[in-house]
Amino acid sequence: MNVLYLAILQIIMSILLSVVVFFISYKILLKLFGVKDQKLNNDNLALSIFFSGIIFSTGYLLSGIIPSIISAIELLKINNGDDMYVKIIKYSSLALFFGFLMASMIQFSAFVLIKTMTKYVKEVDELKRNNLAVAILLSTILISITLISKDSLVFLIELYMPQPDVVKFI
Protein backbone atom coordinates (compact mmCIF):
# COMPACT_ATOMS: atom_id res chain seq x y z
CA MET A 1 0.00 0.00 0.00
CA ASN A 2 2.98 2.31 0.62
CA VAL A 3 3.87 2.16 -3.08
CA LEU A 4 0.36 3.28 -3.99
CA TYR A 5 0.74 6.39 -1.82
CA LEU A 6 4.10 7.14 -3.42
CA ALA A 7 2.58 6.84 -6.89
CA ILE A 8 -0.33 9.11 -5.98
CA LEU A 9 2.06 11.62 -4.40
CA GLN A 10 4.19 11.60 -7.55
CA ILE A 11 1.19 12.18 -9.81
CA ILE A 12 -0.16 15.02 -7.69
CA MET A 13 3.27 16.62 -7.40
CA SER A 14 3.93 16.35 -11.14
CA ILE A 15 0.60 17.91 -12.01
CA LEU A 16 0.93 20.74 -9.50
CA LEU A 17 4.51 21.56 -10.42
CA SER A 18 3.73 21.36 -14.15
CA VAL A 19 0.82 23.76 -13.80
CA VAL A 20 2.98 26.16 -11.79
CA VAL A 21 5.85 25.94 -14.28
CA PHE A 22 3.58 26.51 -17.28
CA PHE A 23 1.79 29.40 -15.57
CA ILE A 24 5.10 31.07 -14.72
CA SER A 25 6.43 30.47 -18.25
CA TYR A 26 3.31 31.95 -19.80
CA LYS A 27 3.36 35.04 -17.58
CA ILE A 28 7.08 35.59 -18.24
CA LEU A 29 6.46 35.34 -22.00
CA LEU A 30 3.65 37.87 -21.83
CA LYS A 31 5.91 40.29 -19.93
CA LEU A 32 8.91 39.75 -22.23
CA PHE A 33 6.88 40.38 -25.36
CA GLY A 34 4.79 43.17 -23.84
CA VAL A 35 1.55 41.45 -24.78
CA LYS A 36 -1.77 41.40 -22.94
CA ASP A 37 -3.69 38.13 -22.49
CA GLN A 38 -6.52 39.27 -24.73
CA LYS A 39 -4.11 39.90 -27.62
CA LEU A 40 -3.47 36.16 -27.97
CA ASN A 41 -6.37 35.26 -30.22
CA ASN A 42 -7.04 34.72 -33.91
CA ASP A 43 -5.69 38.19 -34.62
CA ASN A 44 -2.13 37.10 -33.84
CA LEU A 45 -1.47 33.46 -34.60
CA ALA A 46 2.27 34.09 -34.89
CA LEU A 47 2.64 34.84 -31.17
CA SER A 48 0.42 31.88 -30.32
CA ILE A 49 2.55 29.55 -32.44
CA PHE A 50 5.78 30.85 -30.92
CA PHE A 51 4.44 30.66 -27.34
CA SER A 52 3.20 27.13 -28.04
CA GLY A 53 6.68 26.18 -29.23
CA ILE A 54 8.23 27.51 -26.03
CA ILE A 55 5.68 25.77 -23.81
CA PHE A 56 6.12 22.50 -25.74
CA SER A 57 9.89 22.84 -25.36
CA THR A 58 9.57 23.33 -21.60
CA GLY A 59 7.18 20.41 -21.23
CA TYR A 60 9.32 18.11 -23.35
CA LEU A 61 12.46 18.90 -21.37
CA LEU A 62 10.69 18.43 -18.04
CA SER A 63 9.13 15.16 -19.23
CA GLY A 64 12.63 13.71 -19.48
CA ILE A 65 13.25 14.47 -15.83
CA ILE A 66 10.21 12.53 -14.55
CA PRO A 67 11.79 9.04 -15.03
CA SER A 68 14.84 10.21 -13.06
CA ILE A 69 12.58 11.36 -10.25
CA ILE A 70 10.73 8.04 -10.27
CA SER A 71 14.05 6.17 -10.05
CA ALA A 72 15.07 8.34 -7.11
CA ILE A 73 11.73 7.62 -5.42
CA GLU A 74 12.23 3.89 -5.88
CA LEU A 75 15.70 4.16 -4.38
CA LEU A 76 14.42 6.22 -1.44
CA LYS A 77 11.63 3.68 -0.98
CA ILE A 78 14.22 0.91 -0.52
CA ASN A 79 16.03 2.97 2.13
CA ASN A 80 12.73 3.66 3.89
CA GLY A 81 13.55 6.22 6.57
CA ASP A 82 11.44 8.46 8.73
CA ASP A 83 11.79 11.42 6.39
CA MET A 84 11.22 9.51 3.14
CA TYR A 85 8.33 11.74 1.99
CA VAL A 86 10.28 14.90 2.78
CA LYS A 87 13.24 13.62 0.73
CA ILE A 88 10.94 12.67 -2.14
CA ILE A 89 9.37 16.12 -2.23
CA LYS A 90 12.80 17.76 -1.89
CA TYR A 91 14.46 15.83 -4.72
CA SER A 92 11.43 16.03 -7.01
CA SER A 93 10.96 19.75 -6.50
CA LEU A 94 14.65 20.52 -6.92
CA ALA A 95 14.88 18.40 -10.07
CA LEU A 96 11.87 20.06 -11.67
CA PHE A 97 12.96 23.55 -10.61
CA PHE A 98 16.49 23.01 -11.92
CA GLY A 99 15.02 21.49 -15.08
CA PHE A 100 12.85 24.59 -15.54
CA LEU A 101 15.87 26.86 -15.12
CA MET A 102 17.89 24.81 -17.59
CA ALA A 103 14.96 24.75 -20.03
CA SER A 104 14.80 28.54 -19.80
CA MET A 105 18.53 28.75 -20.43
CA ILE A 106 18.28 26.42 -23.44
CA GLN A 107 15.41 28.49 -24.85
CA PHE A 108 17.30 31.74 -24.29
CA SER A 109 20.36 30.25 -26.02
CA ALA A 110 18.19 29.14 -28.92
CA PHE A 111 16.74 32.63 -29.22
CA VAL A 112 20.25 34.15 -29.22
CA LEU A 113 21.27 31.67 -31.93
CA ILE A 114 18.22 32.60 -33.96
CA LYS A 115 19.01 36.33 -33.59
CA THR A 116 22.54 35.76 -34.90
CA MET A 117 21.27 33.63 -37.80
CA THR A 118 18.69 36.21 -38.84
CA LYS A 119 20.56 39.48 -38.38
CA TYR A 120 18.24 41.56 -40.54
CA VAL A 121 14.96 40.31 -39.10
CA LYS A 122 13.47 41.84 -35.96
CA GLU A 123 11.85 38.69 -34.64
CA VAL A 124 9.80 40.21 -31.83
CA ASP A 125 8.38 42.92 -34.10
CA GLU A 126 7.59 40.34 -36.78
CA LEU A 127 5.81 38.15 -34.25
CA LYS A 128 3.76 41.11 -33.05
CA ARG A 129 2.89 41.84 -36.70
CA ASN A 130 1.56 38.27 -37.05
CA ASN A 131 4.31 37.02 -39.38
CA LEU A 132 3.55 33.28 -39.42
CA ALA A 133 6.71 32.41 -41.35
CA VAL A 134 8.91 33.86 -38.59
CA ALA A 135 6.84 32.14 -35.89
CA ILE A 136 7.12 28.74 -37.56
CA LEU A 137 10.86 29.17 -38.16
CA LEU A 138 11.53 30.27 -34.56
CA SER A 139 9.41 27.47 -33.09
CA THR A 140 11.02 24.85 -35.31
CA ILE A 141 14.55 25.90 -34.40
CA LEU A 142 13.63 26.03 -30.71
CA ILE A 143 12.00 22.59 -30.77
CA SER A 144 14.95 21.12 -32.71
CA ILE A 145 17.44 22.42 -30.16
CA THR A 146 15.19 21.08 -27.41
CA LEU A 147 15.12 17.61 -28.97
CA ILE A 148 18.89 17.59 -29.27
CA SER A 149 19.62 18.85 -25.75
CA LYS A 150 17.07 16.83 -23.76
CA ASP A 151 19.35 13.85 -23.05
CA SER A 152 22.15 16.11 -21.82
CA LEU A 153 19.76 17.88 -19.46
CA VAL A 154 18.47 14.57 -18.11
CA PHE A 155 22.04 13.35 -17.57
CA LEU A 156 22.89 16.53 -15.68
CA ILE A 157 19.82 16.20 -13.45
CA GLU A 158 20.58 12.52 -12.74
CA LEU A 159 24.00 13.49 -11.38
CA TYR A 160 22.30 15.15 -8.41
CA MET A 161 19.63 12.55 -7.73
CA PRO A 162 20.21 9.91 -5.02
CA GLN A 163 22.25 6.97 -6.29
CA PRO A 164 22.82 3.56 -4.74
CA ASP A 165 26.15 2.89 -3.09
CA VAL A 166 28.36 0.72 -5.25
CA VAL A 167 30.95 -1.59 -3.81
CA LYS A 168 34.27 -1.53 -5.66
CA PHE A 169 36.16 -4.79 -6.00
CA ILE A 170 39.86 -4.57 -6.66
pLDDT digits (tens, 9 = 90+) for 136-150: 988 898 899 889 988
State the Rg of the chain over Cα.
19
Break the chain into its structural domains and give their ranges.
2-158
Which of 55-69, 70-84, 97-111 is predicted with the least confidence, judged by mean pLDDT? 70-84
Whether 50 contacts 137, CB under 8 Å = no
Residue 1 has pLDDT above 60, yes or no: no
Whether 26 contacts 35, CB under 8 Å = no
Residue 112 has pLDDT above 70, yes or no: yes
**What's this model's pTM, rounded to 2 decimal places?**
0.73
What's the mean per-residue pLDDT of the chain?
A: 77
